[in-house]
Amino acid sequence: MRYQKIYVLGAGAVGCYFGGMLARAGHDVTLITRSDRAQAINVHGLQMDCQTFQETVSVKASSDVGLLADANLVLVSVKSPDTEKTIQEIAPILPHHAVILSLQNGVANVEIAARFLPNPIYPAVVYVASGMTDARTMKHHGRGELLVGSLQSRPQDAENLALLCELFSTASVPCIVADNIWREMWLKFLVNCSYNAISGIGQIAYGQMVQIPEICQLIAEITQEFLAVAAFAGVHIAPEEARQANVLIAHSMATQRSSTAQDLAKGKKTEIEFLNGYIVELGKRYGVSTQANQAVFALVKMLETSPRAI
């Protein structure tokens, strides 16, 4: 099976980047997004302001999830708190042969989706720095690669994953099959917990964060707690490996403000329950102290309920 009809479900900055790259390469892509963004993109095109090119890409856009009835591939990029509701909504519509690729933050989304769908569902570990500057303009700050893999055990997994990598390679998107996707998901989860909340609280870019010694100390404390929780969850990451992962993000995405920061700036609900909040929840389950994660979690929750002018 080839991925001929591709839909991006919940097309924000990440969805517009990968969907736009596929559409730019000539693939049949439809962005499923909010109505104002869909209208702007249909009328004026998707403006991709990337590090290596600036181009208006012609791509279909709609707010109608009913279009997924003929999907071969769905890239899911809705916010983690919306996963269950969204998957339940599309379950009666989606063909059972359609492949689902989660481009989402956190480590729980594939499990949530699998409760409601019989489809092949794969996680993608996403490393891209991007943001929407208006309804139709996607600003690319750096990177743009994918690691894919399977948390299930299906006979067709190897073929499906190979075809996904082939598809993205035609669009100049590096994509490889990870030997241990679960561990790769936790490494990405680590940097999300290290950076997203702090970036959101301070409305500060990653590169700026690491110039502040007190913030570096806070990142180290968040990381230490994270690694203790991860070990109880069966994921063992060495402290030096964790440090290097954090350092790489600050250097390769220096001008990026986190999705949490972008959501707070727009007065929107964040994914914090699925990031530092999830570490706090697991810490309670395993008896691990998570004071640093609890602190940034609480501050983001405060900003969600009491939006400020930014």
pLDDT at 309: 46
Assess contact for 264 and 224: CB atoms under 8 A.
no
The set of residues, in sequence order, having a beta carbon less than 8 Å from that of 52 and lying 6+ positions away, is none
The rounded Cα 254 to chain-centroid distance in angstroms is 18
Q: How far apart are CA 6 and CA 3, in angstroms?
A: 7
Averaged pLDDT, 268-293: 97
| Mean pLDDT rounded to a whole number for the chain | 96
Q: Tell me the pairing of strands 46-49 and 28-32.
A: unpaired
Q: Which fold has domain 5-179?
A: Rossmann fold (3.40.50)
Q: Are 223 and 171 in contact (CB under 8 A)?
A: no
Beta strands in 33-117 (DSSP E): 46-49, 54-57, 60-62, 73-76, 99-102
Q: What percent of the chain has pLDDT over 70?
A: 98
The tens digit of pLDDT for each residue in 152-174 reads: 888 899 999 999 999 999 999 99
182-305 CATH fold: N-(1-d-carboxylethyl)-l-norvaline Dehydrogenase; domain 2 (1.10.1040)
Half-sphere exposure of 98 (CA within 13 A, CB side): 25
Please tell me what DSSP assigns to residue 267.
T
User: In the chain, where does DSSP find H-type helix?
Assistant: 13-24, 35-44, 83-90, 109-114, 157-170, 181-202, 206-209, 213-232, 239-252, 259-265, 276-286, 291-305
pLDDT digits (tens, 9 = 90+) for 22-31: 999 999 999 9
Q: Is the pLDDT of residue 101 over 50?
A: yes
Residue 310 has what pLDDT? 46
Model pLDDT for residues 284-306, shown as the tens digit of each residue: 999 999 999 999 999 999 999 97
Sign of CA dihedral 27, 31, 37, 40: positive
Task: Give 38's Cβ-side CA count (13 Å radius).
Answer: 16
| pLDDT band per the 50, 70, 90 thresholds, residue 307 | low
Q: What is the domain partition of the chain in residue ranges?
A: 5-179, 182-305
Tokens of 40: 């702007």
Strand duo 46-49 + 54-57: pairing: antiparallel
